[in-house]
Structure 1
Amino acid sequence: MDIPGAPLTEGYHNVRNGDLPCVVTALEMLAPPADLKRLVPEPEVPLALKRWKDCSAEKYRLLYKRVGGYWIWWSRLVKPDAELEAIIRDPAVQLYAVTDRAGVEVGMLELDFREQGQCEIVFFGLVVKATGKGFGKWLMRRALQLAWAPGVERVWVHTCTLDDPNALPFYMKRGFRPYARFVEVFPDPRLSGLLPADSAPHAPVLGMVEPGPDQPE
């Protein structure tokens, strides 16, 4: 991952009301884990991966918001349909829905092989109600089995301070090594209505006028 912009100087840096900052950490894996192809006993997981090919932009955004809306996943919501579909329908991009036993989508996995010799785990996540149950370990093992395709020499992923605080240590325990850190600032998508105002309560909205006692909510 190329880090855009000049390095920040030491000290505090003011962020405008209406903007949202986050610290992004990029992590990489330069060889597959030793046990990735080994048959190891795994607890039964009531989930499955379903490949989504020729997915429409509308269908993609619905799952994207269900999985990542709480954590301020927003970048794919502002892309025009044609641009988004060009990405997710690219033969070098693999998109999967995580489904439960009833066939309901409860997570997503997106792998990008467009850069030769590399695979980026672009999006990886489960809906909030499916977290904390060990399903993430199962999903990451499946993700790595797919990512380490023939010819791949590097797998990488990134997370930020708006994500689940367990995400960074989770990736490191799975064998990823942090190699870069940068700050991203963008317009808060909750202020524009792109995401609900109650998304990411761990990152309070600045710039939203709270209703007074005589104002309707």
Structure 2
Amino acid sequence: MTRPPRQPAGARSGRFAPLRGDLGRYRRLFAEVGRPWLWFSRAALSDAQLRAIIDDPAVEALAYVADGADAGILELDFRKAGECELAFLGLVPGAIGRGLGRQLAAEAIRRAFARPISRLWLHTCTLDHPAAVRFYLSVGFVPYRRALEVADDPRLTGGLPRDAAPDVPIV
């Protein structure tokens, strides 16, 4: 995305709370949001490595709080000059299907383009929610590349519990 779409953001029903300095909350929320989709990258990091990312002033790591509880995670990475990577955007399983993802995306786009950037980008994968690509297209992202990434199954390497992502076959 090289400029924000001309879609109205819509009403927001929750608030965003910074996760900077709160590794426990970040790890818990990342695990709850990502476990069904085999998110493992942040789980594999030591506390020092994770702290170096989420406490970096060029990274915005946020909890989305709706109805008094953490409902989602949003992480924007501005460490590359002139760009913003939408590193993570996701909802806890009980919050999916309530329109909150659009609120997360609208906030990501608003925050990203509030800074002097030339593009906002992300990458997703086939293990993410089956509607992920369709969702990102609907909020204004345009595909520019398709790639194949291979990683060991984190349930077999100890990076995630064996019961993570029960709908994804262990390979």
TM-score by length of 1: 0.74
RMSD of aligned Cα (Å): 1.6
Residue equivalent to 1:34: 6
- 1:43 deviates by 4.9
Residue equivalent to 2:27: 61
- 1:82 deviates by 1.0
Relative contact order (alpha carbons < 8 A, sep ≥ 6): 1 or 2 greater?
Answer: 1
1:25-65: CA deviation from partner (whole Å, max 9, x where unpaired): xxxx01111245xxx6x3562x2211222223x33211110
- 1:79 deviates by 1.2
Q: How far apart are the structure 2 equivalents of 1:74 and 1:165?
A: 18
Q: Find out whether 1:125 has 2:97 as its counterpart.
A: no
Q: Find out whether 1:111 has 2:83 as its counterpart.
A: no
Q: How far apart are the structure 1 equivalents of 2:12 and 2:139?
A: 19
Q: How far apart are the structure 2 equivalents of 1:129 and 1:193?
A: 26
Residue equivalent to 1:196: 161
Residue equivalent to 1:75: 41
The size of the alignment, in residue pairs, is 171
Equivalent residue of 1:86, what SS?
helix
* Residue type of the alignment partner of 1:49: F
- 1:173 deviates by 1.0
Unaligned runs of 5+ in 2: none
Q: Which one of 88, 92, 116 corresponds to residue 54 of structure 2?
A: 88
After TM superposition, the structure 1 stretch with the greater mean CA deviation from structure 2, 66-75 or 191-200, is 191-200
1:100-139: CA deviation from partner (whole Å, max 9, x where unpaired): 222x212100000111111110000001111011111111
The answer as to whether partners of 1:162 and 1:200 remain within 8 angstroms in 2 is no
Equivalent residue of 1:179, what SS?
coil
- 1:191 deviates by 1.9
Unaligned runs of 5+ in 1: 1-28, 207-217
Greater Rg by CA: 1
The answer as to whether partners of 1:111 and 1:121 remain within 8 angstroms in 2 is yes
Which structure has the highest strand share of the two?
A: 1
The answer as to whether partners of 1:55 and 1:89 remain within 8 angstroms in 2 is no
Equivalent residue of 1:75, what SS?
coil
* Residue type of the alignment partner of 2:139: R
Q: Which one of 175, 179, 182 corresponds to residue 147 of structure 2?
A: 182
Residue equivalent to 1:101: 67
TM-score by length of 2: 0.92
Alpha carbons of structure 1 residues 118 and 165: separation in structure 2 relative to 1, 3 Å? same
Identity over aligned pairs, percent:
44
